[in-house]
Amino acid sequence: MKYAKLRGAIRERLGSEGVLAVKLGMNPVTLSKKLNGKTDWKKNEIEKTLEYLVIPRSEVYDYFFAITNEVDSYDFFNRAQEFIDETRNKQ
């Protein structure tokens, strides 16, 4: 999963990935792993990131579930469905 748009928003709105890591209460290395697709994002981390970057929930797919190739498409649908299901259960 590529997070180019998310990285751009982080730099534009917070100045650096390190600032977001602090806001999320995580080690910058952990955030780097998430942004490099080595570790999955948790639902609450996605929600907090949207809040800190002032990104509407309606745009979550553009930042967290963007399809970059055919291999990502399977992962996209699974992760997007999990997010939708969890969000519905929260309401």
Q: Round to whole Å and give the CA distance between 23 and 70.
A: 33
Does residue 69 surpass a pLDDT of 70? no
Q: What is the mean pLDDT of residues 82-87?
A: 81
- Are 57 and 50 in contact, with CB atoms under 8 Å apart? yes
pTM: 0.73
Q: What is the mean pLDDT of residues 45-50?
A: 96
Question: What pLDDT is attached to residue 84?
Answer: 81
**Is residue 68 very low, low, confident or very high in pLDDT (cuts 50, 70, 90)?**
low
Q: How many helices (H) and strands (E) does the chain have?
A: 6, 0
Question: What pLDDT is attached to residue 72?
Answer: 57
